[in-house]
Structure 1
Amino acid sequence: MVNIDKPESNISNATKERSALLIQLVERETLVNLISLTHIKNKHKHNYSERKTLEKSYYIQKMMQVV
């Protein structure tokens, strides 16, 4: 692996700039993906608890009909 911060490195400035931009892009994409995954996870939690609440109310209604 080449260290792009070394002044004695023979990498051109354009390559360093492209590398820095690529790193920023990857970091940004990673952040966007993490935010999306968190949103999906929270949405799943909400749907799960909503479904459980509906199931409970359904069973309560059924029990009330029996009584």
Structure 2
Amino acid sequence: MKSNIAHALAEFLEVFPYQVLAWDHKVIDHMVRNSELFRNFQQGGSRAKWDIYSHIKYGSLM
């Protein structure tokens, strides 16, 4: 599951998966615990993905 999340985040952020694994433990762990949120991230457009990612990473919606 972590690998799938890392790859999805890496594709969105335009970085390599190993970078996501190094920088975004909080985001990955949150999505592992909340699989529905990860599904929403996968199915969402770029704005929805940013909203989900930034809310987890920074604690607020932009």
TM normalised by structure 2 equals 0.26
TM, length-normalised to structure 1: 0.24
Kindly indicate whether structure 1 or structure 2 has the higher relative contact order, using CA contacts under 8 Å at least 6 residues apart. 2
Larger Rg: 1
